[in-house]
Structure 1
């Protein structure tokens, strides 16, 4: 039996600011209700931009327009037995429209909240992970990278060689 291949979990997240407040989702986790930026796992065959647009719509009911890459973050959960989980997270900044009529939050999201930076810092113990403050902190520090940095091999979608 050979060594297992390590693969990080790729996730996407959105930092959405309006009038000095940030859009967070409140979701049920194994540790109770937690606050997070709209975020989730990238799905097979999905580009990073498609993934973040989908996740924001599912968790906020709002269409998302990515405008910049805020940062790429990596974090590891404390190992448990043979389980070694690492996340590679792509955080995007952008804007949202009003909620789509008739949509509902995808489970496990129960609510959305617009919080100020001070409210975010004061609720730190309720954050899903350190990525919440890290992502918004990068955004507040002015981190904005052009979306043109991202490239997706077209063969992911067509099954053929890249052009």
Structure 2
């Protein structure tokens, strides 16, 4: 049966934040299936949470950084090799404050700042193709007003 026709098909809704400071990108190094991989601060939308609130929460939980959202980058659809479907909502942000003593989410090894060239130098370390595409769109100037993302209460 086609996944689009299957009423049980439920994509994972995730958020990601591209945080930039002085030309460097905030990334998290995490352990996935025994491999160290790089990702934007990212994670799943929780019940009752707005996309913007999820982006702020995930960035803080995974990196220890409070950020201010500045733009909406885009929506990305991807199906992982295991068949898991993802819808990623990506935001741009600037850093506000850092708490280096904050415990990071389970599986996160550390937060780090890389230049775009450093990120591009090792594409095999990226957790998924979403990481590269979101960064490339951001670096290419793709920005939309935050008002594009509506939270209807």
Normalized against structure 2, the TM-score is what?
A: 0.91
Deviation of 1:124 (Å): 0.8
CA distance in 1, matches of 2:64, 2:14: 19
CA distance in 1, matches of 2:142, 2:76: 13
Considering fraction of residues, name the structure with more strand. Answer: 2
Q: What is the match of residue 3 of structure 2?
A: none
Q: Which has the larger radius of gyration?
A: 1
Gaps of 5+ in 2: 1-5
1:71-150 matches, within 5 Å, as: 71-79=74-82, 84-100=83-99, 102-150=101-149
Q: What is the match of residue 160 of structure 1?
A: none
CA distance in 2, matches of 1:32, 1:126: 9
Deviation of 1:31 (Å): 4.5
Question: Contact 2:20/2:95 (CA < 8 Å) preserved in 1?
Answer: no
Normalized against structure 1, the TM-score is what?
A: 0.86
CA distance in 1, matches of 2:116, 2:126: 13
Give the direction of change, closer, same or farther, for the CA distance of 1:134–1:8 in structure 2 (3 Å limit): same
Q: 1:30 aligns with which of 33, 54, 66?
A: 33
Q: RMSD of the alignment, in Å?
A: 1.3
Question: Contact 2:65/2:97 (CA < 8 Å) preserved in 1?
Answer: yes
User: What is the aligned residue count?
Assistant: 148
